[in-house]
Chain A
């Protein structure tokens, strides 16, 4: 059964107003910049903040239920494992709290620890666990009560880069096995793309875009998302193969379009020249370098012009052009590299 939630939280300087629905077995990622209200949404679902939310599942409603009465499991950002209890007692805690007898609760808890590969650590206190191990205990603890809804609050944020990669793929495996509804809150696009079936992008307490990771990557709808997926992004009005951009400048596109559109192209599609390149069917315009920084194996150049643009160029080109902030250059872009879609 689909879980439907209308989350409304009102605070002095902030309001959250979003509708979410999650299918059984589906992983939905709530992605957004800091302060967008992701964690507030998670807390409203968990019943940890007062809100006028409506949550329906299986013809039952969770409205007004306190957290302890909701069929949920939560993995918190820093796990919040109980320091004075062993890993086993941590995992068994939810079952014990819900009235399972001790022997049975421990048996189930041990099974879960085994599933996350930590059966040998059952009697160890959390402080002796590594970050990755603690994360897995937290996941086992959240899943041990067989919740309808699993909530993950930045589950990988506290891990270092090398552990993160491994824990992310493990987490993905466990989420694939989990039959309930999963909501993942993150500000890391990679976590969201890898782990989620669907992305919900949140800005200022509102949903600004929703879709499969593939759709979101190809057709961003806000500057935040475009920045996240690393695309040049503009709004404009198309008239055939001409797009007049809202912030100035005109681009020639290969596939004709009409009306208000979003325009995207990858920074790698942009070329830079010291002189105006002659006689080609390209978009060319003059721009001034405002920033240069290394980016993966290339160099990302920030240029101000009409329109402003990001370009990824090779280090060899940087040296050849002797790039410096303040330099005026010619920007060139093939029409076929530009992708447009209606607003």
Chain B
């Protein structure tokens, strides 16, 4: 028998646990279970949910297409200043999302650094559109993917790539047939994290894409709005997001949550 656990540690631990779990429980307790099915299939919820899923998925695709090569560049190339680049890439991770939204607006807004040319030359305006939602989500979520894939790449043995080279494979073929399959678990984990982050995005989205139901009102925005007008709807929307989060955690259980047992 070990001696008794010290109260100084146990007490704050229990309080901390309650602090994390009670609000979630509260969500379930206060849920309007009777009207829940009706709420869930109401038009607003359905619309927001659909928009959220589409935008988060599109943002994830953008992140995959751009983020995996970026991770490869950071992990494998002998670029000068790689460390600095790696740090810069992770800035959106710690940046308040609303600041990200402002930054996007300054660059891609109609009078923005890049946005004015998009508007002049192609007639494209990104802010306050569904495409803007995708961009805002991708901006915030991409570092999750890049970090996850880069970590996997750096852990992967580069000698397999050398073996592929001696067999006559170009770097692109090597990347596709050898490197990518070997870091697939990292890519999957990164994709799920990235998607979950995109799904929950609020600050950058509302700043850059605004709040137009059916166009830019994603779930988190709908929750915020509904809280004023229809608290029950807000709870239902929150429960949906909670379920998604739990599903993501369950999916990543082996990779991220379980410590050494």
Contact = CB atoms under 8 A, between A and B. Distances in A.
Instruction: Answer yes or no: do A and B interact.
Output: yes
Q: DSSP class of B's interface residues: helix, strand, loop or mixed?
A: helix
Interface string A24-52: 00000000000000000000001110000
A159 interface: no
A73 interface: yes
Contact of A74 (B157, B166, B182): B166
Given A83-B182, A97-B167, A97-B168, A48 B162 contact: yes
Nearest to B162: A48
B167 A141 contact: yes
Contact of B165 (A68, A73, A141, A145): A68
Nearest to A43: B162
A176 interface: no
A74 B177 CA distance: 18
B169 A68 contact: yes
B92 to A, nearest CB: 32
Contact of A67 (B157, B166, B173, B177): B166
A321 interface: no
Contacts of A73: 166-167
B181 interface: yes
Interface string B143-178: 000000000000001011011111111100100011
A82 B168 CA distance: 15
A66 interface: yes
Contact of B166 (A48, A82, A84): A48
Given A80-B159, A93-B177, A97-B173, A145 B182 contact: no
B166 A93 contact: no
Interface residues of A, number: 24
Interface in A113-144: 141-142
Nearest to B169: A97
A76 interface: yes
A67 B165 contact: yes
Pairs A-B, 10 closest by C-beta atoms = A94-B167, A67-B165, A97-B169, A80-B163, A74-B166, A97-B168, A84-B181, A98-B168, A68-B165, A68-B168
26 contacts: A46-B166, A47-B165, A48-B162, A66-B165, A67-B166, A68-B168, A68-B169, A68-B170, A70-B166, A72-B166, A73-B166, A73-B167, A76-B163, A80-B159, A80-B163, A82-B163, A82-B181, A82-B182, A83-B182, A84-B181, A93-B169, A93-B177, A97-B169, A97-B170, A98-B168, A142-B166
Interface of B: 157, 159-160, 162-170, 173, 177-178, 181-182
Interface of A: 46-48, 66-70, 72-74, 76, 80, 82-84, 93-94, 97-98, 141-142, 145, 151
